[in-house]
Amino acid sequence: MESHQTHQPTRETHSLKTTRDYLNIIDAYRELGSYRAAAQLCGTTDKTVRRVIERHEAGGPWTRRRRLPTTRNTDSVLSVLAKKVKDTDGRISAKRLLPVARAAGYRGSARNLRRAVAKIKTEHRQKRRLYRPWVPTPGQHLVIDWTPEAGLHIFCAVLAWSRYRFVRFARNETRETTLALLAECFEELGAVPAVVLSDRMSCLKNGVVANVVVPHPDYVRFAAHFGFRPDFCERLKEERPLMRPLPSLRPALCRGELRKVDRLQTIRFVSARYSVPTTWVGRRLEIMVQDGEVVIGLDGEEITRHQLQAPGGISIHDEHYSGPARPPARTIRVRTDTERAFIALGPVAEGFLRSAAAAGTSRLAGELAEIVSLEPSWGRAQLVAALERATRFRRFKAEDVRDILAAGPQAPNPVSAGKTLQLALPEAPVRSLAAYALEAIR
């Protein structure tokens, strides 16, 4: 009897027998009456013959049954792992997650957990929102920072749009020195920007509440005097080592160079950035310069084009990011029970917190604790209304909120003066002064 398959199935190979092979096995077994003899005749194993005969007698299909999905010992803690990865934006390691998984009932090995965490991080990176590059606006931001060098301290201020630099040396990094050099910078610029952006300098901040920096009162008064808004970002000193090195400038304009699209949906070319649609993230596109424009395409088809930018510039198309840019806002991250209870009051409480921090309110954490303690006595609705009124009139103390609650609805609501009414009044006849002269009366 001829067989269409003579190799022995192993753990790496699956059975590829045809219907003819199964019929030959059944006929050989009926003729010989032995699993082993039928297997030797058909060039297979006795176990295969036994399985084929049992399936045939049971009336089942000859083809291999579909394997049921297997379960893993990490399935019970996937939701816990996914939440931790999402809360930390994918920065937490599997080593830190192992005690959390053990507490949640995981009893598997650390290697299985590492594999599960790696898969969750990959899915998180694919689903996380995309970030667009920040485009500076003329006259908007002045970025300041300190750095030590050879026993001295270097103060540097850079206008974000024009890249104009102001550099001075000092003996210390105190608040008085920083404000004095910042005033000198304004004098050299001959103007004041709208926002002064710095990292969380200890000399300029008064504290941090729910990830919102409270500037020092002296800094607030200084900003109010010059008419700018102080703003803070993350620590630039910690971020700088993690950034890529600056590329060397290439004066020649290249044609047809392949460049990879980064996670910001931009391509770097001659130290400038150009945006592309979201679907091209991670791919290599061709970039060239034609008549003062940067053309980005693939396989001869144009994708987008930009005006050629100077080194350090950036060109962004809003349609590549689903609309215009939204104003930046620091994320609220609560760390204490008081902050959690206050933020639970809703968007009004978040607006109150941001305004109070921007105003440099001292002891803001203590004020929030006193405000939260007013909820059991007055109720959430009245407390939220009082916070809204306090934000409107810039009263950020707990005593001010208590006074607003005590005044109730009888508190006045002054509004700014409206426009002048334009009424069509009738015109009255007008007589000249000559009509009242004595000569005219006679």
What confidence tier does 60 reach under pLDDT thresholds 50, 70, 90?
Answer: low
**Domain closes at, from 190, 219, 241:** 241
pLDDT tens digits for 267-291? 998 888 999 998 888 888 989 888 7
Comparison of pLDDT for 24 and 442, the residue scoring more: 24
Do 351 and 282 fall into the same domain? no
Do 233 and 274 fall into the same domain? no
Do 308 and 382 fall into the same domain? no
Residue 280 covered by a domain: yes
What is the average pLDDT across 162-180?
A: 90
Do 355 and 405 fall into the same domain? yes
- Are residues 218 and 175 in contact, defined by beta-carbon separation less than 8 angstroms? yes
pLDDT tens digits for 77-91? 999 999 999 888 888
Residue 290 covered by a domain: yes
pLDDT tens digits for 128-145? 766 777 788 888 889 999
Do 237 and 147 fall into the same domain? yes
The region of weakest confidence among 59-68, 98-107, 308-317 is 59-68
Helices (H), 332-379: 337-343, 347-358, 364-372, 375-378
Q: What is the pTM of this model?
A: 0.48
Residue 88 covered by a domain: yes
pLDDT tens digits for 227-274? 888 888 774 455 555 555 545 543 333 446 888 998 889 999 888 899
Residue 86 covered by a domain: yes
What is the average pLDDT across 203-209?
A: 85
Task: Output the pLDDT for position 442.
Answer: 58
Residue 184 covered by a domain: yes
Task: Output the pLDDT for position 275.
Answer: 92
The boundaries of the domain holding residue 381 are: 337-410
Do 203 and 282 fall into the same domain? no
What confidence tier does 199 reach under pLDDT thresholds 50, 70, 90?
Answer: confident
Comparison of pLDDT for 346 and 18, the residue scoring more: 346
What is the average pLDDT across 29-56?
A: 89
Comparison of pLDDT for 313 and 242, the residue scoring more: 313
What confidence tier does 213 reach under pLDDT thresholds 50, 70, 90?
Answer: confident
Residue 402 covered by a domain: yes
Largest Cα–Cα separation, the chain: 156
Task: Output the pLDDT for position 166.
Answer: 93
Do 146 and 119 fall into the same domain? no
Do 148 and 115 fall into the same domain? no
CATH number of the domain to which 206 belongs: 3.30.420.10
Strand, helix or coil at 298? strand
Task: Output the pLDDT for position 387.
Answer: 92
Structurally, the chain folds into a number of domains equal to 4
Comparison of pLDDT for 373 and 414, the residue scoring more: 373
Strand runs (DSSP E) across 291-365, as ranges? 293-298, 301-307, 314-315
Task: Output the pLDDT for position 120.
Answer: 92
d(CA 128, CA 89): 8
State the average pLDDT for the chain: 83
- Are residues 186 and 179 in contact, defined by beta-carbon separation less than 8 angstroms? no
pLDDT tens digits for 351-374? 898 888 888 888 888 999 999 999
pLDDT > 90: percent of the chain: 21
Closest Cα to residue 349, out of 318, 391, 307, 313?
Answer: 391
Residue 272 covered by a domain: yes
